[in-house]
Structure 1
Amino acid sequence: MTAVRQPQAPSEDPSEDPSTIAMPARPRVTIVTGADDRYAPLAEELIASVRAHRSLNAIDLSLIATGMSPAVTERLRPKVENLADGAWNIAQAGQRAGKRDWLMARVNKLFTRDYFPGYDVYIWIDADAWVCDPTAIDGLLEGVRRAGLAVGYDDTPTSALDLEVRAWVGGWALGRTYCMKHARRARLSPEELRRLARARPFNNGVFALAGDAPHWPVIQANMSRLVRKGRIFGANQMAIVMAVHLDGLPVEIMPHACNYLDVPRVCARSGAFVEATIPHHRVGILHLASRDAMRTDPTLEMDLLDTEGRPVRRSLRYRPESLARRDPSASGA
């Protein structure tokens, strides 16, 4: 049976829960991201968004440079505690990628413990995401304590459980899910395909793993297996799906606010980004996945609505001055 745990209230005595992960009272935690020259400005914004919250001061920042030029590397080096040059941890992935070094981060994120050993918790955040509310980091840490792995579902329209219609035969729709598509490309066995067909994909643009979690070698082995036949793009998410649904490793499912992929609203009172759906919970980590134009142009803004339905024009990228003014936990507030 798949050990998927939904978010729940913490136990009054965590030691009574045999499924919890033993961690120090003050675990060593690092937030890790990866970037090349193109993503370096976004990585800088992610770093700044973490450092803007006093409650996250004890967390180290680590950067994997994936084909970054020396000048950009040296500009970012003082902003983080750790910096390492990325490599193709899976040789076959590098061979298949060719000159597409931007795919390197999709492999590196599954090997962060190898790059920066010694931490109790590793939190990966894609460079095109930033921390709006530090309680999202608290949630990820609690998820790791409960299951060793904390990650949310991929709620983008292209990755939902909805079937992708492939053909119509005799009035019947023949379709495949996101996980089924990638499992077939990797030529997994019919039994594995059956078990993965209806699995919801995870979005590992944001995820956290305990340093001693048993998931690491399993996820890495799954990734190696997937890239032998399938594609690098999507394989990093499928490697985690397989660890949970085929290998039976536990996972704590994080709420959408911890990796918000939708169009947010703006709180009419505070100006903070909030979820589009009522009751408009605060967005914890805002992820600009698929927003190519905004990722490229920091001046680009878009039409949003506030929580009272009024139009607001804002960029979804990190803005230090607005966060410092509106977030009482931010430095300089």
Structure 2
Amino acid sequence: MSVLEHRERLNFDLGFVDIGCSEHALNWLRRQGVIVVDGAILAADFPRERYGYHLAQICRPYLPDLFEAWEVISWVDCDAWFQDASFIDILFQEAIAHPADVLASTELHYTYVGGDGRPVTNQTALQRYYSAIYEPELAARLTGLPAINSGFIASHRSNPFWSAWKRQIEDIYLRRYGELGAVSRHFGEQFSLNALLRSDHAVRLFDPLYNYLCCWKTPFRDEDGTVRAALPPYPAIGMVHLAGGWRHFGDTYNERGLLYDRGTYLQADERRVLQKVAQSARFR
């Protein structure tokens, strides 16, 4: 929704990979000119211990196949919205000028700190995930580096990275792990992305303000309605990534007005769902 009004000016197409939306929602997208593809077409290749949400992860290296006419491919998670859509044009220009690079950002920003002022880190969790997938030496090296977030990336369709990522995805999601299966497949696409971009493929990093992970440090809306990072000099956020799951959506994000357009587009029943989720999260 945050980019629809800019699409004609910035000259790009919008696609949506459906992994289980209602027909009402899909028809709304089609009326906006969005190209809808069925993520289930990938399901036959990934039959083992597959959860529904995994399709949203599995599909990412297949985007050049799903959208064959597109020169530059960009993935944006559905829990993110653009406050500064002009960055899309910059991103596409960079991808065309540097077709062998993957454009992405790290989960590292000076405002990602806790109440004690220390940087928020998930290195313990990263070590567990990487160790379940990779050999100890590679897992240790990747754990010591800032994670590259897979929620907003872009690259030219000719980049061999897409094929390499596809092979990694197929290995991770089809491999038999035993008791570590759930751990290994959860965010498997992001960990394989990091493994590739920290070894054989070039990454071109952009400012994390254009993939700002609100779960690491909750931003705020100023008096003019601009969403800003919560520490001086309070920079405006380019892309607001409402990561962290339903607990954050129902409580922090909704109540603090961080949804796109403050969530004014939500129907009454949708608001009730968010309120119910928020109440559930408080009592856990």
TM-score (norm 1): 0.64
Deviations 1:24-80, CA, capped at 9 Å, x for gaps: xxxxxxxxxxxxxxxxxxxxxxxx210133675411110111123334322322223
Match of 1:318 in 2: 260
Deviation at 1:298, TM superposition (A): 11
Give the letter aligned to residue 290 of structure 1: G
Match of 1:305 in 2: none
Once residues 30 and 258 of structure 2 are traced to their aligned partners in structure 1, the CA distance between those partners, rounded to angstroms, is: 25
Match of 1:225 in 2: 171
Match of 2:32 in 1: 79
Match of 2:54 in 1: 103
Partner of residue 278 from structure 1, selected from 210, 232, 238: 232
Superposed CA RMSD in Å reads: 3.1
SS of aligned partner of 1:89 = helix
Match of 1:182 in 2: 129
Give the letter aligned to residue 289 of structure 1: A
Q: Is the 8 A contact 1:63 1:80 kept in 2?
A: no
Q: Is the 8 A contact 1:49 1:132 kept in 2?
A: yes
SS of aligned partner of 1:278 = coil
Structure 1 unaligned blocks of 5 or more: 1-47, 165-176, 303-314, 323-333
Q: Which has the larger radius of gyration?
A: 1
Alpha-carbon distance change, 204 to 271 in structure 1, aligned in 2, over 3 angstroms:
same
Stretches of 4+ aligned residues off by more than 6 angstroms: 156-160
Deviation at 1:276, TM superposition (A): 2.3
Once residues 95 and 211 of structure 1 are traced to their aligned partners in structure 2, the CA distance between those partners, rounded to angstroms, is: 29
Deviations 1:271-329, CA, capped at 9 Å, x for gaps: 31122233332211101111524645899322xxxxxxxxxxxx11111899xxxxxxx
The 5 A counterparts of 1:1-333 are 48-53=1-6, 56-87=9-40, 89=42, 93-97=46-50, 100-144=51-95, 145-146=97-98, 148-155=101-108, 163-164=123-124, 178=126, 180-186=127-133, 188-227=134-173, 228=175, 229=177, 230=181, 231-246=184-199, 248-262=200-214, 263-268=218-223, 270-293=224-247, 295=249, 300-302=254-256, 315-319=257-261
Deviation at 1:239, TM superposition (A): 1.3
Deviations 1:196-236, CA, capped at 9 Å, x for gaps: 23232211111112111111011111122222135321211
Once residues 291 and 240 of structure 1 are traced to their aligned partners in structure 2, the CA distance between those partners, rounded to angstroms, is: 21
Q: Is the 8 A contact 2:150 2:190 kept in 1?
A: yes
Larger helix fraction of residues? 2
Once residues 157 and 105 of structure 1 are traced to their aligned partners in structure 2, the CA distance between those partners, rounded to angstroms, is: 29
Once residues 225 and 143 of structure 1 are traced to their aligned partners in structure 2, the CA distance between those partners, rounded to angstroms, is: 30
Once residues 287 and 56 of structure 1 are traced to their aligned partners in structure 2, the CA distance between those partners, rounded to angstroms, is: 23
Once residues 321 and 102 of structure 1 are traced to their aligned partners in structure 2, the CA distance between those partners, rounded to angstroms, is: 24
Identity of aligned residues (%): 23
Structure 1, 122-131 or 70-79: larger mean CA deviation: 70-79
TM-score (norm 2): 0.74
SS of aligned partner of 2:254 = coil
Give the letter aligned to residue 260 of structure 2: Y
Alpha-carbon distance change, 56 to 257 in structure 1, aligned in 2, over 3 angstroms:
farther
Once residues 138 and 276 of structure 1 are traced to their aligned partners in structure 2, the CA distance between those partners, rounded to angstroms, is: 27
Deviation at 1:264, TM superposition (A): 1.7
Structure 1, 74-83 or 53-62: larger mean CA deviation: 53-62
Give the letter aligned to residue 61 of structure 1: L
Alpha-carbon distance change, 213 to 108 in structure 1, aligned in 2, over 3 angstroms:
same
SS of aligned partner of 1:101 = coil
Structure 2 unaligned blocks of 5 or more: 265-284
Deviations 1:171-213, CA, capped at 9 Å, x for gaps: xxxxxx61x3222212x23343343232322111111121111
Larger strand fraction of residues? 1
Deviation at 1:249, TM superposition (A): 0.7
Task: Tell me the number of residue pairs that the alignment of Structure 1 and Structure 2 aligns.
Answer: 245
